[in-house]
A and B are shown apart, each in its own frame.
Chain A
Amino acid sequence: MVIVEIILSLLIALGAGVFLVGLSRKVIARIHRRYGPPIYQPVIDVVRLFTQQSISHGVLFDLGVVLSLAGSLVTVLFIPLGGICPLCSSGGLLVVIYLMLFAPLGLALGAGASDNPNASIGVSRKMLLALAYELPLLLVLLSVMSHYRTVSIVEIVAQQQQGWWGAVPLPLSAIAAFLILPAMLGIRPFDLVSAPQEISLGPMVEYGGRYLALITLQGAVHLFVVIALFVNLFLGGGANVGTFLVKVLAVFLAGVCVHAVMPRVRIEDAVKFCWKWPAALAVLQMIIIVLWSSQ
């Protein structure tokens, strides 16, 4: 039974992630008043990349991709997807916090092995950006955990299903989490890690062929994981997979609308922003919770 759930949740994550990527291209095109590619365009791209010649730069280069994809896929197993959650009995949020670091670390490993200066710049930007959004993210997660008095995501979702959605008792945390969402997803205004016009896709600069196909899939899964986490913490998760995916879609579309109209910020501005507004909101919420619960 657990095996079936594992396979099912991985398939949901992959399918939904790839669908979201395709949808984002379509929606962005429509916002730009273009017709846009078909929604299945990422599938075509991935098929094409799998048939292309792949150029490797050594063992670490290959392993980085695998580690990154594996990290993203394993994270899915710890996040409840509207009732399906194969490994939720252990760890909860704490495990997710750790596992979510695997993807960028894997990419950094592979990028380092590629010996490309653009990749190094991209990796250093990625690490700085992670530093920028981890601070508000951890504060947000801390307030969520102390409000619901548990680290289990299933428990948090269950409490929300009985009462209000998490965004109602924790509005400032929800806003802070939404503000750092583009940074976690690597979309504009925080797409400075993969900035194609400046540093040629940063860490991915040397990846092509099958490697790039795997990275595309990893990106899709990562996208799904981050939004699923947001939905679980603040939008009440889902009673079943259907409602859950609808909520994921809504959050993603909000993010894409920001993405489509924003320019890119510089790295120091990104750090300044993340440590100023989201962090301030998260700290404020933290104080409120502490005062509230001490009464």
Chain B
Amino acid sequence: MDRNQITKWLKSPSKMANKYSLHAVYFCTGCGIIEIPPVITTRWDAERFGVLPVATPRQGNLFMITGYVSLKTLKAIIRTYEQMPDPKYTVGFGSCPINGGMCWDSCGDASVDPHRQRHGGRIPPIQEELRRLQAESGDAFRGAGVARALSVRRRRPGGESVIPSLRKKLESTFKDIEVTVPEDGKMSVSVPGDSVPVVLRYLKDNGLDHLALISCVDWIDEGKLEVVYVLGCYMRNDTDVTAEQRIHVFLKTRIPREKPELKSVIDVFENAEPYEREIHELFGVHFDGHPRLIPLFLEREYDIPPFRKDFDTRQYVEDTFGRIPPVEQ
């Protein structure tokens, strides 16, 4: 403790004590929590600044939301927040709670990015609440000196965006393709099912060499299944690549629900194998050329793939587990 601090302590002990005794409650629903173990253990040792994880919200004054915020987890977050005594600080940690991260386009996302107005007024009250929570997150953790350890690598602004040129190239190369730019740094490409591998290979050759995820959406009213390939760029050299050059591309294709078939893209991106297997299992999409379309998670047989919207989960649970007699009988 240096001499400046002593006068500060004498002037406002409660303020300084709150600054140097941060007891953190973690709400960990996602991979953001991976940053926490090095911070609280030997590597960064947050305890030297008085930062300590606590077991119950009653005793904490720092609330760290470290994962994707969906509509269901939001309730738990708000309840936890309300249980914490004042004064308290909240930190939305990583890209998932702030703008949805890689799940930004999903229907359950309730992240707090104020610039995004989708969902047509359905969520705003809750979003407002979470935005209010986030606005209260002060410089608390930075004051404790841990921000350096926690903060993600900053992107250097500047440079020419690659999206317009890539868009022009795509539209001139492929026929039935529809490109939209929903927001800065993100591009959405819709193609027919047959040309998915070709477009993917083309994108891969143009710098989008990271297949982050393949997901699927069931548009039951339109009778379509939409398969989404999320592509990004690996970071090669931090100084060469600016924020404008580091983009995400969402390759979407709609296929009929009755006979959903796609070509496997394993020969383009090898890591597509488990994603395709998962989508085959949960949505019933058949991937042509996949070496082993065997069940990945599920143990039982289903007449409808369980993630389709016409699958009645409640009925299924009742049928499967309701008949099991209680132990006493």
- Residue numbers of A with Cβ under 8 A of B are 25, 29, 32-38, 41, 44-45, 47-49, 51-55, 196-197, 200-201, 204-209, 212
State whether A29 touches B47 (Cβ < 8 A).
yes
State whether A197 touches B55 (Cβ < 8 A).
yes
Q: Which of B13, B48, B56 contacts A34 (CB 8 A)?
A: B48
- A34-B47, A36-B47, A55-B85 as given contacts; A48 in contact with B61, CB under 8 Å: yes
State whether B85 touches A53 (Cβ < 8 A).
yes
Beta-carbon nearest neighbor of A38 in chain B: B1
State whether A48 touches B56 (Cβ < 8 A).
no
Binds A, one of B16-24, B124-132, B245-253, B270-278: B16-24
State whether B45 touches A53 (Cβ < 8 A).
no
A208: min CB distance to chain B, Å: 4
B145: min CB distance to chain A, Å: 12
- A25-B47, A36-B45, A48-B21 as given contacts; A55 in contact with B14, CB under 8 Å: no
Beta-carbon nearest neighbor of B14 in chain A: A51
State whether B17 touches A51 (Cβ < 8 A).
yes
A54: min CB distance to chain B, Å: 7
Beta-carbon nearest neighbor of B22 in chain A: A48
B210: min CB distance to chain A, Å: 35
Q: Which of B48, B50, B55 contacts A201 (CB 8 A)?
A: B55
Task: Provide the bound-state CA to CA distance between A36 and B50, in Å.
Answer: 9
- A34-B47, A51-B17, A52-B87 as given contacts; A207 in contact with B41, CB under 8 Å: no
Task: Provide the bound-state CA to CA distance between A32 and B48, in Å.
Answer: 13
Q: Using Cβ atoms and an 8 Å threshold, which residues of chain A touch B55?
A: 196-197, 200-201, 205
A56: min CB distance to chain B, Å: 11
A96: min CB distance to chain B, Å: 31
Determine if B73 is an interface residue (Cβ-Cβ < 8 Å).
no
Q: Using Cβ atoms and an 8 Å threshold, which residues of chain B touch A48?
A: 14, 17-18, 20-21, 61
- A51-B14, A53-B85, A54-B85 as given contacts; A34 in contact with B42, CB under 8 Å: yes
Task: Provide the bound-state CA to CA distance between A5 and B2, in Å.
Answer: 36
Q: Using Cβ atoms and an 8 Å threshold, which residues of chain A touch B50?
A: 37, 41, 44-45
Beta-carbon nearest neighbor of A118 in chain B: B56
Q: What would 4 more interface pairs be, CB under 8 Å, given A53-B85, A55-B58?
A: A32-B42, A35-B45, A35-B48, A44-B20
- A41-B50, A53-B86, A55-B85 as given contacts; A47 in contact with B58, CB under 8 Å: no
Q: Which of B14, B47, B61, B85 contacts A37 (CB 8 A)?
A: B47
Task: Provide the bound-state CA to CA distance between A33 and B87, in Å.
Answer: 32
State whether A45 touches B21 (Cβ < 8 A).
yes
Determine if B149 is an interface residue (Cβ-Cβ < 8 Å).
no
Task: Provide the bound-state CA to CA distance between A113 and B1, in Å.
Answer: 41
Determine if B59 is an interface residue (Cβ-Cβ < 8 Å).
yes
- Residue numbers of B with Cβ under 8 A of A are 1, 13-14, 16-18, 20-21, 23, 41-42, 45, 47-50, 54-56, 58-59, 61, 85-87
Q: Using Cβ atoms and an 8 Å threshold, which residues of chain A touch B56?
A: 200-201, 204-206, 208
User: What would be 14 A-B contacts, judged by CB atoms less than 8 Å apart?
Assistant: A36-B45, A36-B47, A37-B48, A45-B23, A47-B21, A48-B14, A51-B18, A52-B86, A53-B85, A53-B86, A53-B87, A54-B85, A197-B55, A200-B56
Beta-carbon nearest neighbor of B54 in chain A: A196
- A52-B87, A208-B58, A209-B85 as given contacts; A47 in contact with B14, CB under 8 Å: yes
Beta-carbon nearest neighbor of B59 in chain A: A208
State whether A52 touches B1 (Cβ < 8 A).
no
Of all A-B residue pairs in the complex, the 5 with the closest CB atoms, nearest first, are A208-B58, A51-B14, A196-B55, A53-B85, A48-B17
State whether B17 touches A47 (Cβ < 8 A).
yes
State whether B59 touches A212 (Cβ < 8 A).
yes
Q: Using Cβ atoms and an 8 Å threshold, which residues of chain A touch B54?
A: 196, 201
Task: Provide the bound-state CA to CA distance between A32 and B38, in Å.
Answer: 13
Task: Provide the bound-state CA to CA distance between A204 and B56, in Å.
Answer: 9
Task: Provide the bound-state CA to CA distance between A37 and B50, in Å.
Answer: 6
Q: Using Cβ atoms and an 8 Å threshold, which residues of chain B touch A41?
A: 21, 50
Beta-carbon nearest neighbor of B49 in chain A: A37
Q: Which of A32, A201, A208 contacts B85 (CB 8 A)?
A: A208
Best-buried of A34, A44, A52 by chain B (most CB within 10 Å):
A52
Task: Provide the bound-state CA to CA distance between A196 and B56, in Å.
Answer: 8
Q: Using Cβ atoms and an 8 Å threshold, which residues of chain A touch B21?
A: 41, 44-45, 47-49
State whether B48 touches A44 (Cβ < 8 A).
no
Q: Using Cβ atoms and an 8 Å threshold, which residues of chain B touch A200?
A: 55-56
Task: Provide the bound-state CA to CA distance between A53 and B58, in Å.
Answer: 10
State whether B58 touches A206 (Cβ < 8 A).
yes
Q: Using Cβ atoms and an 8 Å threshold, which residues of chain B touch A51?
A: 13-14, 17-18, 87
Q: Which of A29, A34, A197, A205 contacts B58 (CB 8 A)?
A: A205
Task: Provide the bound-state CA to CA distance between A52 and B45, in Å.
Answer: 25
State whether A44 touches B41 (Cβ < 8 A).
no
Task: Provide the bound-state CA to CA distance between A218 and B101, in Å.
Answer: 45
Q: Which of B16, B18, B41 contacts A32 (CB 8 A)?
A: B41
Beta-carbon nearest neighbor of A35 in chain B: B48
State whether A33 touches B58 (Cβ < 8 A).
no
Task: Provide the bound-state CA to CA distance between A206 and B16, in Å.
Answer: 25
Q: Using Cβ atoms and an 8 Å threshold, which residues of chain B touch A212?
A: 58-59
B54: min CB distance to chain A, Å: 7
B149: min CB distance to chain A, Å: 13
